[in-house]
Amino acid sequence: MESWSQRDLKYIWHPCSQMKDYETLPPMVIDHGKGVYLYDTEGKRYVDVISSWWCNLLGHCNPVINAAIKKQVDELEHVIFANFSNKRAIELCEKLINVVPKGLCKFNFSDNGSAAVECALKMSFQYYYQTGKPNKKRFITLTDAYHGETVGALSVGGVDLYSEIYRPMLMDVVRVQAPDCYRCPYGKTRGNCCCECFAEAEKTFEQYGHDACAMIVEPLLQGSAGMKIYPPLYLKKLRKLCDEYDVILIADEIATGYGRTGKMFAFDHAGVAPDIMCLSKGLTGGYMPMSITVTTQKIYDAFYDDYNTGKAFMHSHTYSGNPLACSAANAVLDILSDGKVLENANKNAVYFNALLNEKFSSVKNVGEIRSIGLINAIELVKDPISKTPFDPKLRIGYQIYKKALQKGVILRPLGDVIYFNPPLIIERDTLDFVTDIAKECVTEVLNS
């Protein structure tokens, strides 16, 4: 009998993978999960420190979410969302309105993060088209951004690894040099600066702001870029700048939302609100593919008119508002509603960051240990003084990934940035274990 992974490789083309790599390390076939643990078909246990691609929020097979979905599946699995609605979607908006930044009040449903970004881009473009400023067509974005894989989302992204090949297919966008706090060109340190680098945004807006419809950002944390973290002041300034030039500010909170940065949304740290916010990943606790593009009354109103004016937002996805996904999303908000999960996660975040500093600061190739909420990242460099990276061909991160798997921890470095983005419910003894294993793997790989 062939193994599960042999059967897998016969047919499955895995995402974001060089399939040939699976010759030496076949895909891990997971049998079941519980809490922060995943179990493979041989019964071996792994700590899911990457929250199954940053989406699992409250543990695998969470009893409350499981119960909500089971109840819903016997009532209604899906129904068309144009001209029709369902109770779970309505309840979800009634709950979300209490937690999203002030001013955001209209909810447009899609079924994955990239789709939510596409929706935000089209919405921004159309907004100016029908409010008398059809010249405002450009999108402004940060370098090193990640907003998903579909053509529009990839266009506003800036991670070459994912987008370079497709350049000829992509929209022409304007890029602002993103903050880079580890290698700050102004010689400042994160959180102890006036965001001098914001001058780059001001320069770009001077040139292109008048023709721009929207600026999209991953607030505070450029995840795929290697968990690059920048201060809330940057968002505050960006809010002001967008207002000055009448540019819609889109917050891609797909990775940062739902408590990942220590507050419900990353924008909450800045005390300002975006005009459009994209949600996915934690939205359903990592259970079901769903996303929402949330916007203001003002933007919504620009689309609201008699049918024959042609102002409607003619945008849809088959699975918009799926009741099963909404039932999971409702359960997630119920669990988070008394604030205890987040409070506890924030206490553990302090503990975790201290632990990593204690264990890793003496490791010679550690360039920076940075953190926000429970997310921690360790950037490994060839030379910490000059901050020179390792040759990417050495695939240091990938070697660490393989070693950690053997030892029961799922680390999935971004290049040479080892990061931890665990479910919010992870406990201290698990953090101890994960830190020890990470240290072992990093030292073994660096010494080999």
Ligand X SMILES: *Cc1c(COP(=O)(O)O)cnc(C)c1O
Nearer to ligand X, 145 or 411 (CB): 145
Nearest-CA neighbor of 57 among 219, 264, 226, 225? 264
Footprint of ligand X on residues 60-119 (CB under 6 A)? 112-114, 117
Single residue of 35, 148, 209, 232 touching ligand X by CB under 6 A: 148
CB of 332 to ligand X, least distance (A): 16
Taking CB under 6 A as the rule, does residue 218 contact ligand X?
yes
Tell me which residue has its CB nearest to ligand X.
113
Cβ distance 375 to 345 under 8 Å? no
Nearer to ligand X, 223 or 262 (CB): 223
CB of 254 to ligand X, least distance (A): 4
CB of 269 to ligand X, least distance (A): 16
Cβ-based neighbours of 158, under 8 Å, separated by 6 or more: 141, 142, 143, 144, 145, 146, 175, 178
Taking CB under 6 A as the rule, does residue 280 contact ligand X?
yes
CB of 255 to ligand X, least distance (A): 3
CB of 172 to ligand X, least distance (A): 20
The dihedral sign for the CA sequence 117, 123, 128, 134: positive
Cβ distance 111 to 289 under 8 Å? yes
Nearer to ligand X, 255 or 288 (CB): 255
Residues 166-205, one symbol each (x = binds ligand X by CB under 6 A, - = not), give ----------------------------------------
Nearer to ligand X, 96 or 227 (CB): 227
Cβ distance 353 to 371 under 8 Å? yes
CB of 392 to ligand X, least distance (A): 21
Footprint of ligand X on residues 222-241 (CB under 6 A)? 223
Nearer to ligand X, 279 or 356 (CB): 279
CB of 200 to ligand X, least distance (A): 21
Cβ distance 320 to 110 under 8 Å? yes
User: Segment contacting ligand X (CB under 6 A): 36-44, 166-174, 250-258, 311-319?
Assistant: 250-258
Single residue of 200, 252, 268, 379 touching ligand X by CB under 6 A: 252
Nearer to ligand X, 60 or 317 (CB): 317
CB of 250 to ligand X, least distance (A): 11
Single residue of 50, 89, 123, 254 touching ligand X by CB under 6 A: 254
Residues 331-370, one symbol each (x = binds ligand X by CB under 6 A, - = not), give ----------------------------------------
Q: How many CB atoms lie within 10 A of CB 47?
A: 24
CB of 36 to ligand X, least distance (A): 20
Nearer to ligand X, 209 or 223 (CB): 223
Single residue of 57, 100, 255, 276 touching ligand X by CB under 6 A: 255
CB of 147 to ligand X, least distance (A): 5
Name 275's bridge partners: none
Nearer to ligand X, 148 or 422 (CB): 148
Q: How many CB atoms lie within 10 A of CB 186?
A: 12
Binding residues for ligand X, rule CB under 6 A, total: 13
Which residues contribute to the site for ligand X (CB under 6 A)? 112-114, 117, 146-148, 218, 223, 252, 254-255, 280
